[in-house]
Amino acid sequence: MPARPSVVIICPKEFKFTDQEASVERPHLADVADLTTVMLDFGAPLPAAALDAHAHILWHGPLMDAAVIAQLKNCRVIIRNGVGFDTVDTAAAARASIPVCNVPDYGTEEVADHAIALILALYRQLFPLDAEAKRLGWKIEVAPKMRRLRTQTLGLVGLGRIGIATALRAKAFGFRVVFFDPYAPAGTRKAVGLEQVGSLDELLKLSDTISIHCPLSAETRGMFGAREIGLMRPGAFLVNTARGDIVQKAAAFAALHSGHLGGAGLDVVENEPLRTPEEAATPNLICTCHGAFCSPEGMIEMRTTSARIARAALTGQPVWNRVN
């Protein structure tokens, strides 16, 4: 009898979002494929056995560059367990006739909720107030930073699924919401009742807070540097729940030290995680652990979708969420 197809799930050891038994994926795949979970050190090369698989499900971390893809002789699909797919050379995969798919919608609610939580924490100065209260003080030293939300303009960079979800939440709090997205379909602003501007520079000058919701690509990598941050209003807030490499860390931290940025809420940072005590001590910085997507419900949805895409590829059915 011919050997059954194999599916390999590749996850860095540091992450606790999967299990060796592939308990979520197995019910969707066990009748058509053998499953293996490979736990790697972050950035470690794929073992030879993983290269032979017929479907690869990747958590954040493992790199599939052109050299790795050239070794995938049996692969019918590469699935990024998440929204971003910058760890996969999609062009090389396309040349090898391997579809690359992602799971773009699993964490929409969670990331939008997290972005709003960071924005509210900055506007209501929750962490400085918490620290002051625990010093047994009661002067409300940060009162000048605490603004009425309906007097504020929130600028969104990118209006995909998460951007729209964030916009709708922000509108409920009374923000004036404006967005820049050159790829938004015509009429999007009408459908969701938002203002649209024609350039990033215009958005930066207009907004009291910038929240980033675009993918990481050659176009967006390092998009927020010293020039762009310098265009933001003095005392403005910067929030990033997208990808760390969109914002140049040195420029953002320098603006926090100088006071040009009134605060930043970063779920992701360039060259994450934070690397030094000096970075961790940056003033007016809220930094979370690339965890905006996290919830038990979201994890199950993501893993289920990845397994169903793998099943489709292995059984000759059309795949979806293809990015190449």
The first and second tokens of residue 217, run together, are 């690509």
SS3 295: coil
CATH 3.40.50.720 matches 108-287: yes
Q: Check whether 72 has a pLDDT greater than 70.
A: yes
Q: What CATH number does domain 6-106+295-314 carry, 3.30.465.10, 3.40.50.720, 3.40.630.40, 3.30.1330.10?
A: 3.40.50.720
The residue with tokens 């479907």 is: 55
Question: How many alpha carbons lie under 13 Å from residue 249 in its C-beta half-sphere?
Answer: 19
Give residues with Cβ within 8 angstroms of 110, minimum separation 6: 292, 293, 294, 295, 298
SS3 227: helix
pLDDT tens column, 207-226 = 999 999 999 999 999 999 99
pLDDT above 70 covers a percentage of the chain that reads 99
Q: Check whether 1 has a pLDDT greater than 50.
A: no
One of 243, 303, 308, 311 is an active-site residue; which one? 243
pLDDT tens column, 76-132 = 999 999 888 989 999 999 999 999 999 999 999 999 999 999 999 999 999 999 999
pTM: 0.89
One of 109, 132, 202, 272 is an active-site residue; which one? 272
> Whole-angstrom Cα distance, residue 32 to residue 55?
12
Domain extents in the chain: 6-106+295-314, 108-287
Q: What is the pLDDT of residue 2?
A: 58
Pairwise pLDDT comparison (43 vs 106), residue with the higher score:
106
Catalytic (active site) residue 272: yes
Tell me the one-letter amino acid at 155.
Answer: G
Q: Check whether 54 has a pLDDT greater than 80.
A: yes
One of 233, 290, 301, 322 is an active-site residue; which one? 290
Other C-beta atoms closer than 10 Å to the C-beta of 150 total 9
Q: What is the pLDDT of residue 40?
A: 87
Q: What is the pLDDT of residue 286?
A: 98
Q: Check whether 16 has a pLDDT greater than 90.
A: no
Q: How sure is the predictor about 3, in pLDDT bands with cuts at 50, 70 and 90?
A: confident
Other C-beta atoms closer than 10 Å to the C-beta of 78 total 29
Catalytic (active site) residue 301: no
